[in-house]
Amino acid sequence: MALQTTVERVAARVPVTVMALDGELDASNFERLIEDVRGLYAAGDRTLLLDLSGLTFMASSGLVALHAIVLVMHGQRPPDLEGGWSAFHALTDAVEGSERQTEVQLCGAQAPVTRVLERTGLDRLFVSHPDRASAIAAI
Amino acid sequence: MALQTTVERVAARVPVTVMALDGELDASNFERLIEDVRGLYAAGDRTLLLDLSGLTFMASSGLVALHAIVLVMHGQRPPDLEGGWSAFHALTDAVEGSERQTEVQLCGAQAPVTRVLERTGLDRLFVSHPDRASAIAAI
Amino acid sequence: MSAISVDADLDRLADIRALVRGVALSSDAPPACLDDLVQAVDEAATNIVVHGYARRGGAIDIEARLVDEQIVIVLSDTAPSFDPTSVPEPDLSVPPLRRRPGGMGIHLIRLATDSMVHRARPGGGNILTLTRSLDPRPKEER
Amino acid sequence: MSAISVDADLDRLADIRALVRGVALSSDAPPACLDDLVQAVDEAATNIVVHGYARRGGAIDIEARLVDEQIVIVLSDTAPSFDPTSVPEPDLSVPPLRRRPGGMGIHLIRLATDSMVHRARPGGGNILTLTRSLDPRPKEER
Ligand SMILES: Nc1ncnc2c1ncn2[C@@H]1O[C@H](COP(=O)(O)OP(=O)(O)O)[C@@H](O)[C@H]1O
Ligand SMILES: Nc1ncnc2c1ncn2[C@@H]1O[C@H](COP(=O)(O)OP(=O)(O)O)[C@@H](O)[C@H]1O
């Protein structure tokens, strides 16, 4: 099953870009997802809500995508997957106190996806909402 | 697994267009295959060898595609899948004596594909060769 | 018994076939048995997508089990009730070019399975049970 | 025991996952067991494609069986020998943003399975045996 992305812009307290991921996020498509978010950032989007309610599978490469997406949405240099991740230390220091950055937030994650986030500790990087409506109300 | 098609033109006794089908031919992609062959006919190709050695699955909709491809390669009106198959009677009468037309030939069919052709009697429509080399030598 | 639910979409047929291969694999099915099951389930699922739900989508629930050397696969949907066993056999004596293309799906299911049983789903829809023995030979060679 | 051979290609991962769902389905595996197996096999297969065959392609042979309430899935390849059980656990105490992305695949396999055993394939290559009990709970809740 392939990955489909759908983007919608919502006027909450701040403008929120909602990207719904439907299908399966794996090693065959995680790089395209990072590219898509890079495009959003270039277009001026600054707060991204990933709606994971239709995501039925996430591989460890999906975690790499989530990590990279956080960097991209913080204006960091596009992560070079072959090495050269030094750039992100600045960001690390900036958000260190709070740890959970807020530029990228999640909602609607199903059990298999939540499990992967928790098993790798990547859940600590994100504010997670049960669904899209409560996320938009909270942002 | 998706369907990939690769086209090659070979100078045998007559010019032969070899189209290799790799993957699985099913209800999601059989119409695209007919379209592809329509394009070949429009481009002047007149003898088509379908190399099925990489085809691991063929649904009954694949049989519809094969049938339509024979019509297309005989210059018949593109079959309208919603009805209106009257046009092919002329062709039927033309090739009735021999039954096996030669404009579209097959090679390399694997067991599951051969079984589907035999179980529906569509094998009677085609000259089938064990592999590409012997097909080209025979055409 | 648990089921896997798949969207009734032509783009999911490849997933359904891979699922059936997994079922066959875990029963150590011989190649012709695996091929037959893949064919039968693909044809049945295609009919549910195209005819049953008329391409408007829906769900196909798939169950599988091994019972007495028979692989049993059950497809359930909530489309209008239709019994494929009521469809007459195509006349294979007609030369292929004289035929109207199509109409071979149910015929292929019959040849690929040892039994095809339809019943109405309580509350609406269909339950189609396809059974294929682990026999290594295709039906016509038995 | 028969095996299914799949091209070592990232575009076949979805097929491999569907295959594993079919294996789980025919053993009537509970949801968390199915999810774990899909995750573990996907990660292992991805590593074979990306690291083992270095994206140059090859074959992955997949076998499956149910033994004593355990689903056993075996992946074989002919890539250079590599024992994933030799890879140390990642340090999860490091805050996510301080980490170098990646390096979580084998960790996820460990958490999703009850055992992961590697042996060299006679003649070259790898045989990786992944086992997951039918226990309905994920490992961390047992
Ligand atoms: N699930 C279904 N719901 C409604 N009608 C069906 C269904 N399956 C088959 N049919 C009917 O039976 C006919 C024969 O089906 P089949 O042998 O699979 O060939 P085809 O689908 O190519 O026509 C179909 O054309 C359709 O009219
Ligand atoms: N099949 C394999 N062949 C060779 N090296 C491998 C294989 N699987 C894993 N590795 C090595 O182990 C490392 C850790 O793998 P893994 O935990 O899956 O994370 P990742 O693949 O994201 O790096 C890989 O980066 C690679 O160097």
What is the C-alpha separation between D19 and C75, in angstroms, rounded? 17
What is the C-alpha separation between B5 and A53, in angstroms, rounded? 35
CB-CB: which of C35, C46, C98 is closest to B61?
C46
Contact C38 B57 (CB under 8 A): yes
Q: Above 80 in pLDDT, residue D140?
A: yes
Q: Tell me the pLDDT band of A84, cut-offs 50, 70 and 90.
A: very low
Q: Above 50 in pLDDT, residue A38?
A: yes
Contact present, A61 and A6 (Cβ < 8 Å): no
**Structural tokens at position A33:** 């997802």
**Mean pLDDT for chain A overall:** 89
pLDDT, tens digit (0-9, with 9 covering 90-100), for C91-123: 999 888 888 889 999 999 999 999 999 999 999
The residue ranking higher by pLDDT, B83 or D95, is D95
Contact D64 C22 (CB under 8 A): yes
Closest among D117, B1, D42, D77 to A63, alpha carbons compared = D42
Q: Give the pLDDT score at D98.
A: 83
pLDDT, average across residues D10-24: 98
Ligand 2 pocket test target in D13, D47, D128 with most atoms within 8 Å of CB? D47
Say which residues have a Cβ less than 8 Å from residue C65's Cβ, sequence separation at least 6: C1, C71, C72, D26, D28
Task: Report how far Cα B6 is from the mean position of its chain's Cα atoms.
Answer: 14
Q: Above 90 in pLDDT, residue A61?
A: yes
Q: Which helix (H) or strand (E) holds D48?
A: none
Q: Above 90 in pLDDT, residue B100?
A: no
- Count each helix (H run) and each strand (E run) in chain C, helices first: 3, 5
CA of C17 to the centre of ligand 1 (A): 19
pLDDT, average across residues A49-65: 98
Ligand 1 pocket test target in C47, C104, C113, C126 with most atoms within 8 Å of CB? C47
Q: Which chain D residues contact residue B2 at CB under 8 A?
A: 11
Question: Is the CA virtual torsion D91, D96, D97, D101 positive or negative?
Answer: positive
**φ/ψ (deg, to 5) at C20:** -65, -35
The residue ranking higher by pLDDT, B77 or A92, is B77
Distance to chain D for C121, nearest Cα, Å:
21
Contact present, C88 and C26 (Cβ < 8 Å): no
Tell me the residues of C at the B interface, defined by beta carbons under 8 Å apart. Answer: 10-11, 13-14, 17-18, 31-32, 35, 38-39, 42-43, 46, 49-50, 90, 92, 95-102, 104-105, 107-108, 111, 138, 140
Closest among D16, D27, D97, D25 to D61, alpha carbons compared = D16
Distance to chain C for A111, nearest Cα, Å:
16
The residue ranking higher by pLDDT, C4 or D2, is C4
pLDDT, average across residues A11-36: 97
The ligand minimizing its distance to the Cα of A61 is: 2
> Hey, whose CA ends up nearest to atom 24 of ligand 1?
C103
Q: Above 60 in pLDDT, residue B79?
A: no
Q: Tell me the pLDDT band of A91, cut-offs 50, 70 and 90.
A: low
pLDDT, tens digit (0-9, with 9 covering 90-100), for C12-70: 999 999 999 999 999 999 999 999 999 999 999 999 999 999 999 999 999 999 999 99
Q: Which of residues 14-33 of D touch C (CB under 8 A)?
A: 14-16, 18-31
Contact present, D90 and D101 (Cβ < 8 Å): no
Ligand 1 pocket test target in C87, C100, C127 with most atoms within 8 Å of CB? C87
Beta strand segments in chain D, E: 4-7, 59-67, 70-77, 115-120, 126-133
Q: Give the pLDDT score at A100.
A: 82
pLDDT, average across residues A98-108: 88
Question: Is the CA virtual torsion A53, A59, A65, A70 positive or negative?
Answer: positive
Q: Which of residues 6-35 of A touch D (CB under 8 A)?
A: 24, 26-28
DSSP D81: P
Q: Above 80 in pLDDT, residue D11?
A: yes
CA of D49 to the centre of ligand 2 (A): 10
What is the C-alpha separation between B7 and D141, in angstroms, rounded? 55
Q: Above 60 in pLDDT, residue B86?
A: no
Where is average pLDDT lowest: A1-5, A57-61, D83-87?
A1-5
* Alpha-helical regions (H) of chain D: 13-26, 31-47, 105-112
Closest among B6, B86, B105, B130 to B46, alpha carbons compared = B105
Contact D97 A59 (CB under 8 A): no
Q: Above 70 in pLDDT, residue B95?
A: no
> Hey, whose CA ends up nearest to atom 20 of ligand 2?
D103
Q: Does C113 touch chain D (CB under 8 A)?
A: no
Q: Give the pLDDT score at A82.
A: 54
Q: Which helix (H) or strand (E) holds B62?
A: helix B60-73
Q: Give the pLDDT score at B87.
A: 47
Closest among B48, B47, B45, B56 to B21, alpha carbons compared = B56
Contact present, D128 and D84 (Cβ < 8 Å): yes
The 10 Å Cβ neighbour count of residue B12 is 14
Secondary structure of residue C106 in the 3-state scheme? helix
- The model scores a pTM over 0.90: yes
Q: Tell me the pLDDT band of A81, cut-offs 50, 70 and 90.
A: low
CA of D44 to the centre of ligand 2 (A): 9
What is the C-alpha separation between B119 and B123, in angstroms, rounded? 9
> Hey, whose CA ends up nearest to atom 23 of ligand 2?
D103
DSSP C118: E
Asked whether D103 lines ligand 2 (CB < 6 A), one says yes
Q: Above 60 in pLDDT, residue C78?
A: yes
pLDDT, average across residues A30-56: 97
